[in-house]
Amino acid sequence: MVLCQKGISPDRIKVLQKEVDAILRKNPAVNETFTLAGFSQGLPSNQMLALAFLKEVSQRPPITQVIAQLDQQLSQIPGIIPLLRPDPVLQISTGATKNNQGQHAFAISGTDAAEVYQAAQQMIAKCRQFPGFAAVSSDYFANTPVLDADLNELQLQSYGLSNLNVEQLLKNAYSQNYTYLIKTPIDQYKVIVEAADRERSEPSDVNRLYFKPAGAQTIVPDQTVTDSQASVGRLSVNHINQSPSVTLYFNLKPGVATGDATQFIQRTAAAVLPLTIRGQLQGEAQTFADTFSQLGVLLFVSVFIMSF
C-alpha cells in the first residue's frame, strides 16, 4: 500500500503510480509488479495499491531486506508514504477493520467525534516516538479539498426546484452516474453520464451547470440557487459500532517483537485516551494480545494435565 498526499488529483496519482511501478520493476529481487490507483471501491482516493511479486528465495535477499530497500527508494518520491509489508498466504484478521495500511491496527472510537479525532492525533504523535515502528498512519484525512454548496431554499421554490434536483444535477456532472446498460449479441456497454474532465477541473466550474425546471422554457444557472465555497474537510467519516472512529496502522521494523509494540500501544492509550474514548487493538495485534493474556492459564492447564 502507498499513501499519497491528502486531496491528490486523479491525474497526479496516475503520475505517481508510474513512478512507483518503475521503482518496483527495477529492483533485482522483484519478478512482477501490479499497481492500482483511482479505484473508488475499496480504496480511498489518496491511496494506491502496489503489489510486488518476488523471485524465488534462492534468487533474492530475505523479504525484510527487500522491503527495506523498496521503502527507502519509494520514500524519495515527493508526496507519498510507502507502507509496504509482507502479504502471507495465511493471515489473521479479526475485529471491524481491515489492516490495509499496516500489519497491525489500533482502533479508537467514542460518541464525540471531535474528541475522537483529537485523541487520535495525540496517539499518532506518541506512536511515532517508538523506535520499533517502521511506519505509522491512520484512516483520518482531515485536509481534503471539498466544495460546499449552500442551497437558497426560497430561490429553489420560486423556480419550481427542490433539493433533489440539485443532488441529481451534481450527481450527473461529477459522480460518473451509471444510467443504463446497452446489450448487444456479443457484448454490453454501460452508459455513464458525467461532465468532461476539462469542464469540471476547477471549483468555479460548478457555476457552469444549469437546471431545466419541468415545463419551463428557460434554464436556471446553478449559481442562482446555490452558493458554492471551496474549503477543506474529512475524506470520510469512519465508524465502529455506529460510533465515530479512527484506526491507527503500524508496521514493525525487522527484529522488533510484537509484544513490545502492543504493550507500548496499550500503555500509551492508557496515558493519552480520556475515559470517554475506547481504544482496542485490531487484527493480528489483538489476536496476539488475547493469546498472551491467556498464556498463564494455558501453562497451568498444561502442567496439570501432564502431572496425570
Contact between 240 and 109 (Cβ < 8 Å):
yes
Contact between 138 and 236 (Cβ < 8 Å):
no
Per-residue pLDDT at 40: 57
Question: Is 119 strand, coil or helix?
Answer: helix
The pLDDT tens digits for 207-240 are 899 998 887 888 999 988 999 888 888 888 888 8
Per-residue pLDDT at 95: 46
The pLDDT tens digits for 76-119 are 998 888 888 887 665 555 544 455 677 788 999 999 999 999 99
Q: Are residues 200 and 127 in the same domain?
A: no
Q: Is the pLDDT of residue 203 over 50?
A: yes
Residue 68 placed within a domain: yes
- CATH number of 2's domain: 3.30.70.1430
The pLDDT tens digits for 268-291 are 999 999 999 999 887 665 555 555
Contact between 213 and 160 (Cβ < 8 Å):
yes
Domain that includes residue 221, residue range: 145-233
Q: What is the mean pLDDT of residues 187-214?
A: 89
Give the long-range contacts of residues 19-23, CB within 8 A, separation 24 or more.
Answer: 19/77, 20/48, 20/50, 20/74, 20/77, 20/80, 21/50, 23/70, 23/73, 23/74, 23/77
- Number of neighbouring beta carbons within 10 Å of residue 88: 8
End position of a domain, from candidates 192, 210, 233: 233
Give residue for cell 471551496.
Answer: 230
Q: Are residues 162 and 273 in the same domain?
A: no
Rounded Cα gap, residues 249 and 103, in angstroms? 7
Residue 89 placed within a domain: no
Q: Are residues 13 and 26 in the same domain?
A: yes
Q: Can you give the pTM of this predicted structure?
A: 0.71
Tally of domains in the chain? 3
- Number of neighbouring beta carbons within 10 Å of residue 9: 12
